[in-house]
């Protein structure tokens, strides 16, 4: 199998998923609107004190992005499973983990990237200083692909289950706790003028590991779900 055919197949899968997401622009806007609503409600509940809002800014933005991404996970593989295109991917001569990696990349581009665009706006509502905001954006740039990869594995595990949204949330949230802790720790360290590179490095190491293992786990889980 030539590398050109594999590359063209991966590009076709990515282009198809992006086109389908563009046709369902309302679904793309739902996580963004949810994140904005949740981020807006915190200052009303806690009060307008700038120091308090700045202290919790990193954690609020990270948790809000996590919960907003959770809204879109259930549709990662389910539409392809229902219309039969997932079986076509499994029968394709190209490696299934690579094709699934393209689907995960399309999910990140259509779900997490818009949330990263509005993250400075949400952080600005909490008076987060610019140096800490740069660390927050860097943490989101590493944490959101990691969350997409972890979520994709769990979605593949629950692909054959009807109404798996609650089960997916219960399985994903414990895995996301370390990601949120390291990302929020980096932002807090930047606010206090302390070294913040170590938490980011741990997130980067976890992302590198997930980039290799998550597509393989997704392929194995989907084969089990479709054979069951």
User: What is the pTM assigned to this prediction?
Assistant: 0.89
- pLDDT score, position 27: 77
| Chain segment 161-215, per-residue pLDDT in tens | 666 667 777 788 888 889 999 999 999 999 998 999 999 999 999 999 999 999 9
Would you say the C-alpha torsion 118, 65, 180, 46 has a positive or negative sign?
positive
- pLDDT score, position 197: 94
Total residues belonging to the chain:
228
User: Could you give phi then psi for residue 102, rounded to 5 degrees?
Assistant: -65, -35
Phi-psi region of 163 (alpha: psi -120 to 50; beta: other; left: phi over 0): left
Tell me which DSSP letter residue 93 carries. S
- pLDDT score, position 201: 95
Q: How far apart are CA 152 and CA 192, in angstroms?
A: 35
pLDDT in tens, the chain (228 residues): 566 678 888 888 889 888 888 888 777 888 899 999 998 888 888 888 888 888 888 889 999 998 898 888 877 877 777 777 777 778 778 888 888 999 999 999 999 999 999 999 999 888 888 889 999 999 999 999 999 999 888 888 877 666 666 777 778 888 888 999 999 999 999 999 899 999 999 999 999 999 999 999 998 888 887 775
Number of folded domains that form the chain: 1
- pLDDT score, position 228: 53
- pLDDT score, position 163: 60
Q: By percentage, how much of the chain surpasses pLDDT 90?
A: 36
Q: How far apart are CA 101 and CA 192, in angstroms?
A: 37
* Residue range of the domain that includes 114: 3-227
């Amino acid at each position: 199998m030539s590398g050109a055919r594999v590359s063209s197949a991966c590009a076709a899968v990515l282009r198809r998923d992006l086109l389908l997401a563009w046709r369902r622009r309302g679904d793309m806007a739902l996580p963004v609107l949810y994140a904005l609503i949740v981020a807006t409600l915190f200052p009303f509940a806690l009060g307008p004190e700038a120091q308090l809002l700045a202290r919790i800014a990193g954690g609020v933005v990270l948790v809000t992005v996590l919960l907003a991404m959770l809204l879109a996970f259930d549709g990662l593989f389910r539409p392809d499973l229902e219309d039969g295109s997932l079986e076509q991917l499994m029968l394709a001569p190209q490696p299934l983990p690579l094709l699934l990696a393209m689907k995960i990349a399309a999910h990140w581009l259509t779900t997490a990237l818009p949330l990263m665009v509005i993250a400075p706006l949400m952080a600005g509502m909490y008076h987060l200083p610019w140096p800490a905001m740069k660390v927050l954006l860097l943490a989101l740039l590493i944490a959101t692909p990691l969350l997409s990869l972890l979520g994709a594995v769990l979605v593949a595990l629950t692909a054959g289950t009807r109404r798996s949204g609650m089960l997916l949330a219960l399985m994903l949230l414990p895995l996301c706790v370390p990601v949120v802790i390291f990302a929020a720790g980096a932002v807090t360290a930047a606010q206090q003028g302390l070294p913040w590179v170590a938490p980011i490095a741990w997130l980067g190491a976890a992302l590198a590991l997930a980039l290799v293992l998550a597509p393989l786990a997704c392929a194995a889980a989907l084969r089990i779900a479709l054979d069951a």
